[in-house]
Structure 1
Amino acid sequence: MAPSVQAEVDEGANHTNGFPEFNASRRRQPPPKLKKPVPHYRHLVRWNKYSIPESIEEQQLNQDLLICRQLLNLFFNANMAEAESILAKGQIPVTENQVDLHAFDGLQGTASTNLLQKTLDALGLTLEDIKDDSDDLPSETSSSAASSKDGKKSPSTTPSIAPSTHGKKNKVKKEKEVKSMYYGLGGAIIQGLRALVTFDPEEIEKGVEAFEQAAKAADKLRKGTIIGLGSVKAVGSFVVGTIGAGSFRGMNRVQKHAELIYAESTILRSLLSVLYHVDVWMVFEECINLRHAFTIIQGLKSYMDSVESELRAGKNIDHHQIDEHLVSGVTLSYSLYNIIISFMPDIIVKMLQFIGFPSDRDWGMAMLAACGDWDPMAPPETPAQHAERLASSANDGIRRQFCDMVPIIFQVIVSSFIPMNHVDLNYAQMINDYNLELYPNSPIFLFFKGRHLQVTSKFDDAVSTYKSAQAKIQPRWHNINHIFVFEELMIAMTRSDHETACENSRQLLKESRWSKCCFRYLTVITGYERGVKSERKKIDTLMGKVESGMQTVAGMNLFFETFCARKSKRYLKEGHLLLPSYDFMLLWNTFDMMPLDVLGEALAKISTEVSRLQGLLPQKMKDRENQPLAPKDQTMEAFSGGYLSSIFSNKNALIKDSKVEGYENFYDDYCLAFFLQGVVAYHLAFFPEAAFDREKCELALKSFDTVFRYAPLIKDDTYTYYFTHYYKAKIWIHQGRLDDAQARFKYLLGLSNTNLLGLPALVGGKGKNSLEIMVLFKVHSGLLEIETARAAASGYASSIMSSK
């Protein structure tokens, strides 16, 4: 069904009606109204870490948790090689009453050199002991640690996990020691991260194997007699559906941790396996494994809900022995299931909900906030409150920082690609600043800081932050630098700084294995736009290799690589590309990050190309523009009548009149130029926290209408047609025409199929939209935006009525 539109004769007459005079902020939006209460599991912690348990297994667990927590601190604070080397030494077995739980008090937030030395002392090791496993230890770290060791040290502050006999004499070879489930998971996560930053198939295979070993280590400690656990296989748990809270009441603390780690290892192994295997059936098998892991996570959540009910009823819950590590783990896993599934198309969400998966993004985000006791609407903390937060035992949970990372990632990264409601960049900055205070040298949190500056259009500060973060990365993890280099590349392309862009793209092509297809294409277009004639032959040669660099994930091509491959074919056929940098920026949504001056420069460059292409448009096609473009002609249904129906009745004549000599894909470029002009004009018109620009809004609408008019003649770049629909619907949302916008979004969802039946397919025979997945994600978020706008309007109307 075609989208409903207003019935006015001239739609342009009402283009400016209903628009606000001043644009709202997309950087600070109020939090959502939640459909159900959020649990505060951090209040359930009843684990006395200063008492020595009777069970040797629990003593071992306590020691492993304390050491892994400090190793995590080392890793976050840019001492990655040191943390990895200590972890590789393996678990130190304990015997009864040998664990000093006061050993690691006060370590969090200290200088990295002291943190390293204390961790080494706790393990009964020296810096020399780990040099064999880490060739990348910085010399300054070694000297600092050595001086710390030789300097004055009070016996009362000397960390000790076990008596001095746990030094070199008790070190055992890695292959002979009993593997700890937490050590196994920590090592697997490090290996998984290395696999992601290198994208080396061998490293990915090692990561999959490491997670399998971690799951096996945890499986040995699970209580295998419970229905749905242990002996029951993944398919069985899929049928059973969930595990009740009662199953976990009969477990001791070690067994609960074993269940959690088994589920986490299964989830991470499945996700990494999807990157490694190309078999679609393997993806189906991993989905079953994810379902099995979810039954465990959901069972743990039900158990903690029941404990929370006991606490509210005034009962003593000390015997449950819930610690901050279990709380942060359950919170992280269950929240991520809610958040990630919520981004999928409605039909998939409904299918997953039918088999028991949750999908509530706002609730998942609020659950993560509760883990860190964050409140986006709270006033700034006083110094005393801030000190209390830093000293809180809630910080000790091994997964605590990961719970903080998720909202930051979705606020400053994901929201840049997929429009999201309730974006609050100030909230993300508050969480990130707190973690930077704990880990001032952390490349991870420095990246988030730089990304926050980038999405708020502070490009100079963002580049400076990226540079400082790169300087802190150790050589063994140099691949992480490629993340910063890529962000600097996108900033350079945004600014039309072709020299820097060319340098960064060449560095990525030379060093990174993430996407040879994409990096070859970026190297070509940055060199192409720099315009050095002596490099033209190299550019042509490299462009011929773009398609051969494509890879598959889960048996499917990556959408951005498909985009690059199709553009390379166009270049090889015609010898030129139109505004390739701005075209590529659509994939990374950098238009949202551009400040006003950069948007103005972009509009000037694009408009120049628009004028040039208009000069090439055949006169007979210009004469046809006198025919009005009715609202229905903006859809594929226009083939059944109206202006575009002439493509059936007089198809040959239209094609003959539209032909441009020596320019086979002229209308691809013509529509692309007008589309880019419309997108930039749209962002200028609705720039956040600025006055609404009616003139730019009119320019955007006229540009989009031009795309609709010439869409039947597009041969390859069909994505411009679909994105044009999306941006026009966005304008309608600003205008308050929510029904029209919703109808247009649903219309786009109806086109999501492999054939994309419509005008481009009928004329050019190539109806596949290479960026279809991006359109679907944006449309899905657009529908949620409409729901939020309606809810807000309904609430406002109710308040007006109640005031009367």
Structure 2
Amino acid sequence: MPPSAKDSGLGQGDGFPAYNPSRRRETPPKLKKPVPHYRHLIRWNDKQPAASLEERQMNHDLVVLRHALDLFLDLRMAESEALLKRGPQPVSANGAEVSDYASLNPTAVKRASQASSDKDSRASVAEDDSKYGSSKVKENDQASLSTEAQEKLSLGSSSGSEKKAKDSKETRSMYYDLGRGIIQGMRAIATFDPDEIAMGMQMFEQTIKTADKQRKGSMMGLGSVKAVGSFVVGTIGAGSFKGMTRVQKHAELVYAEATLLRTGLSVFYHMDLWMVLEEAINLRSAFTIIQGLKSFMDSVESELRAGKNIDHYQIDEHLVSGVTLSYALYNIIISFLPDVIIKMLQFMGFPSDRDWGMAMLAACGDWDPSAAAESPEEHKERLSSSANDGIRRQFCDMVPIIYHTIVSSFIPLKHVDFAFAKRINDYNLELYPDSPFYIYFKGRHLQVTSKLDEAIATYKSLKPVEARWHNFTHISVFEELMCAMMRADHDTACEKSRQLLKESRWSKCCYRYLTAITGLERGKESEKKKINSLMEKVEDGMQKIAGVNLFFETFCARKAKRYVKEGHLLLPSFDFMILWNSFDMMPPKALKRALDIISGEVHRLRELLPNKMKERENRPLAAKDQTIEAATGGYLSGMFSSNKNASAKESKVGSYENFYDDYCLAHFLQGNVAYHLAFFPEEPFDAAMCALALESFETVFRYAPLINDDTYTYYFSHYYKAKIWIHQGRLEEAEGRFKYLLGLTNTSVMSLPTLLGGKGKNSLELFLLLKTHSGQLDLEAAKTAADSGSVYSGK
């Protein structure tokens, strides 16, 4: 049971910092084990003749794929697709070697953009455009499988070279197939169209078949790579890979990558939890290969430290970046799962070390978060180094950027460093100045550092994307929408939400709700009929991923049903912003404006509060009476009468059925905004705002037993009060509050949280659980800081 409201005052303000430390650049983590620097193992001599025709072909394919990737990243998607659609160009046994390996460097590719291959790409694009003509499927009308899509599915692609796939003499390339699969997979994610997802799965299946033909059939010692051994503890030793040719090692890597990517699309396509279980064997098989390649790299690194010559292994930057990316992602993704699942996966041999995985990715790009800024000479060397240009290299850079600037906004994380993410992004933006990806990341960095005006300008600077990739721009449109909501700019919010509803397929449920509430906030009477119609359709747009409802869609559906029933919602934009942790990004000016709007609603609702409830507010309140659990049984005392029926009658506010839901929501929002003003990073601590936050949360606790549905306001109030106590140094009390929140969850086999108390289902319970676990990390950091005599710099 949580502590009583009586001992929650600020007192003299003892324990609070006079000045809030930065939460935007934390110190790098202390790693439990050393991080391998596989870049130092690169011994691929591009001047040395290839050992076989097969290797010569792979070298040529890697050059083309690197070029295609550079085109794709720099907003030239059609040229990239056309280059890959032409298919691999066979290299003759006595033909000239592909010697221009400088083209693996993105800068060199840009200089060579007028070369004949590029000219051929543009010609192919023109041919493609004329070929599609009026039969091209519209972006927003792909609900049914068209004839063209069926043809693509049966053939894997619409290009002429792939229509000859049945010809046994046709040259196939695992890297061409992988490149086409990745592009198709990205389009599937961008459109969320079942046809596109199915085509992506088909292409990855073809990649798996092509790579499998180039894998080593059998190995000494532990047997074939294909026979991965035991599902639980099966591994492949480093010695198995030492006996492989360079092509065979690449084939193993591509086979594993394609398996993972096909599995991911399969889960999206079937939207079924059982599919996740069915694909677990494939995930384990792929990981076994990745683990074996890592063991091989570790063994070679040991030989290098011992002074041995490792040139004969011919390790290249493509293999290094691939193994690094795959193994690091296993560590990072698994670390976000519930503890019970992590332990089960660790028993099966899967790794789970988030900090180590992030450090491994940084090492691939030779990034050091604690290093000083690069000199012009060092920066020039970085830009020209071919060691930075494995075909998975840019993906290794994207993960830390996404982790620091996006994931950290949804889940409070430790060791977040916005400046480090910006340094990586600036490097890539210099290579790809028109890239919609890195421009978006730039805008996101500005947004999370509370520079909303600059962020909006950056999002607007995105150049038009080709029609078939238009959906990628919707990420930036959504961020513009959220920035407008933070600034209470209802006109812009309406414009952006309507654009998303019209053009995007990602979440019709969410977009209908956003379009409705932004129109509701704008307050035009002429739009009310459209708003009512949208609210009625919100629930119909819900979808499931792996058999589970998306938490934000559940939230939108519940609120829409409330509106349909009652005809109003309280502060819906600010309410929705809780889902995106938008209050963390708002600058003081926007926070103060939001506080004025919310406090106005608090005052309005207080005027509706029954007099008998106002009279009893100063009475002593027992701890048990400020909980939702108090409403599930027994009589209420304290500010409520001893008779339960009388309490319900005295607290009733006319026909306002969910008055106390709104009353608690208004106070929670007021407390949330006040909390962020009190502890705004790199600003003086605001004791008045901290006091207002505590007072607001106490009001939520007082009226919690009368909440019907919006239980999340109560649980989040506990979370933020615990955060205030951490700042104040009341660590034991904060720990008790976190334990109370975690005690409301049911740690079943899947460890999906189910709040046992409470009358209404908390649609944000998973979100709350993640935040509470992260709050415990803050608590541990505060304890460490207290023991060392330093200042806690939590969020």
The 2-side partners of 1:216 and 1:792 are apart by 54
Inter-CA distance 421–89: structure 2 relative to 1 (3 Å threshold): same
TM-score by length of 1: 0.89
| Match for residue 35 of structure 2 among 34, 38, 43 | 38
| Match for residue 519 of structure 2 among 519, 527, 538 | 527
8 Å CA contact 2:715–2:741 kept in 1: the answer is yes
8 Å CA contact 1:245–1:299 kept in 2: the answer is yes
| Match for residue 243 of structure 1 among 232, 236, 247 | 236
Q: Report the CA distance between 1:599 and its aligned residue.
A: 0.2
Give a deviation string over 1:330-366, Cα, whole Å, max 9, x none. Answer: 1111111111122222222222222222111111111
Partner of 1:395: 388
| Match for residue 586 of structure 2 among 568, 579, 594 | 594
1:771 pairs with 2:764: yes
Partner of 1:145: none
8 Å CA contact 1:18–1:736 kept in 2: the answer is yes
Give a deviation string over 1:669-721, Cα, whole Å, max 9, x none. Answer: 01100110010000000000000111111111111111111111111111111
Q: Which amino acid aligns with 2:54?
A: E
The 2-side partners of 1:797 and 1:568 are apart by 47
User: Superposition pairs for residues 706-725 of structure 1, below 5 Å?
Assistant: 706-725=699-718
TM-score by length of 2: 0.90
| Match for residue 252 of structure 1 among 226, 245, 258 | 245
The 2-side partners of 1:360 and 1:208 are apart by 29
Inter-CA distance 549–216: structure 2 relative to 1 (3 Å threshold): same
Partner of 1:801: none
Q: Report the CA distance between 1:463 and its aligned residue.
A: 1.3
Inter-CA distance 409–757: structure 2 relative to 1 (3 Å threshold): closer
8 Å CA contact 1:53–1:59 kept in 2: the answer is yes
Partner of 2:135: none
Q: Which amino acid aligns with 2:339?
A: D
Q: Report the CA distance between 1:293 and its aligned residue.
A: 1.3
SS at match of 1:760: coil
Partner of 1:686: 679
8 Å CA contact 1:502–1:526 kept in 2: the answer is yes
8 Å CA contact 1:228–1:240 kept in 2: the answer is no
Give a deviation string over 1:464-499, Cα, whole Å, max 9, x none. Answer: 111111x24222211111111111111111111111
User: Superposition pairs for residues 8-407 of structure 1, below 5 Å?
Assistant: 10-14=7-11, 16-105=13-102, 108-110=105-107, 114-118=111-115, 120=117, 125=120, 127-134=122-129, 174-175=164-165, 176=167, 177-226=170-219, 227=222, 229-232=224-227, 236-407=229-400
8 Å CA contact 1:502–1:523 kept in 2: the answer is yes
Inter-CA distance 230–756: structure 2 relative to 1 (3 Å threshold): closer
Inter-CA distance 483–649: structure 2 relative to 1 (3 Å threshold): same
Partner of 1:149: none
The count of corresponding residues between Structure 1 and Structure 2 is: 753
Give a deviation string over 1:301-343, Cα, whole Å, max 9, x none. Answer: 1111111111111111111111111111111111111111222
8 Å CA contact 2:610–2:652 kept in 1: the answer is yes
The 1-side partners of 2:769 and 2:379 are apart by 42
Q: Report the CA distance between 1:740 and its aligned residue.
A: 2.6
| Match for residue 617 of structure 1 among 609, 614, 617 | 609
Inter-CA distance 192–237: structure 2 relative to 1 (3 Å threshold): farther
SS at match of 1:27: coil
SS at match of 1:310: helix
Partner of 1:791: 784
| Structure 2 residues without counterparts, runs of 5 or longer | 133-159, 747-751
8 Å CA contact 1:516–1:550 kept in 2: the answer is yes
SS at match of 2:762: coil
The 1-side partners of 2:583 and 2:377 are apart by 41
Q: Report the CA distance between 1:27 and its aligned residue.
A: 0.9
User: Superposition pairs for residues 632-643 of structure 1, below 5 Å?
Assistant: 633-635=625-627
8 Å CA contact 2:436–2:473 kept in 1: the answer is no
8 Å CA contact 1:208–1:272 kept in 2: the answer is yes
8 Å CA contact 2:490–2:522 kept in 1: the answer is yes
Give a deviation string over 1:239-293, Cα, whole Å, max 9, x none. Answer: 3432222221121111111111111111111112111113322111122322221
SS at match of 1:769: coil
Partner of 2:137: none
The 2-side partners of 1:181 and 1:644 are apart by 72
| Match for residue 760 of structure 1 among 758, 761, 764 | 758
Q: Which amino acid aligns with 2:758?
A: P
Q: Which amino acid aligns with 2:357?
A: G
Q: Which amino acid aligns with 2:75?
A: A
8 Å CA contact 2:321–2:392 kept in 1: the answer is yes
Tell which deviates more after alignment, 85-94 or 174-183: 174-183
The 2-side partners of 1:12 and 1:642 are apart by 28
SS at match of 1:770: coil
1:424 pairs with 2:442: no
SS at match of 1:117: coil
Q: Which amino acid aligns with 2:8?
A: E
The 2-side partners of 1:644 and 1:355 are apart by 52
| Match for residue 720 of structure 2 among 711, 724, 727 | 727
Q: Which amino acid aligns with 1:513?
A: R
Q: Which amino acid aligns with 1:676?
A: L
8 Å CA contact 1:73–1:108 kept in 2: the answer is no
The 2-side partners of 1:525 and 1:296 are apart by 49
Inter-CA distance 404–638: structure 2 relative to 1 (3 Å threshold): same
8 Å CA contact 1:712–1:759 kept in 2: the answer is no
| Match for residue 618 of structure 2 among 615, 621, 626 | 626
8 Å CA contact 1:243–1:298 kept in 2: the answer is yes
The 2-side partners of 1:476 and 1:677 are apart by 43
User: Superposition pairs for residues 427-576 of structure 1, below 5 Å?
Assistant: 427-469=420-462, 471-576=463-568
Q: Which amino acid aligns with 2:583?
A: F
| Structure 1 residues without counterparts, runs of 5 or longer | 138-169, 799-804
Q: Report the CA distance between 1:112 and its aligned residue.
A: 7.7
The 2-side partners of 1:393 and 1:786 are apart by 44
Partner of 2:402: 409
The 2-side partners of 1:465 and 1:459 are apart by 10
Give a deviation string over 1:541-595, Cα, whole Å, max 9, x none. Answer: 1111111111111112111111111001100111000000000001111101100
User: Superposition pairs for residues 647-658 of structure 1, below 5 Å?
Assistant: 650-658=643-651
Inter-CA distance 266–629: structure 2 relative to 1 (3 Å threshold): farther
8 Å CA contact 1:745–1:783 kept in 2: the answer is yes
The 2-side partners of 1:757 and 1:308 are apart by 49
Q: Report the CA distance between 1:295 and its aligned residue.
A: 1.4
The 1-side partners of 2:596 and 2:700 are apart by 19
Partner of 2:597: 605
8 Å CA contact 2:204–2:258 kept in 1: the answer is yes
SS at match of 2:568: coil
The 1-side partners of 2:130 and 2:586 are apart by 42
Q: Report the CA distance between 1:412 and its aligned residue.
A: 0.8
8 Å CA contact 1:638–1:644 kept in 2: the answer is no
Q: Percent identity?
A: 66
8 Å CA contact 1:310–1:316 kept in 2: the answer is yes
The 2-side partners of 1:114 and 1:99 are apart by 22
Q: Which amino acid aligns with 2:730?
A: R
Inter-CA distance 205–172: structure 2 relative to 1 (3 Å threshold): closer
The 2-side partners of 1:570 and 1:591 are apart by 24
Q: Report the CA distance between 1:648 and its aligned residue.
A: 11
Q: Which amino acid aligns with 2:227?
A: V
Q: Report the CA distance between 1:638 and its aligned residue.
A: 5.5
The 2-side partners of 1:675 and 1:366 are apart by 38
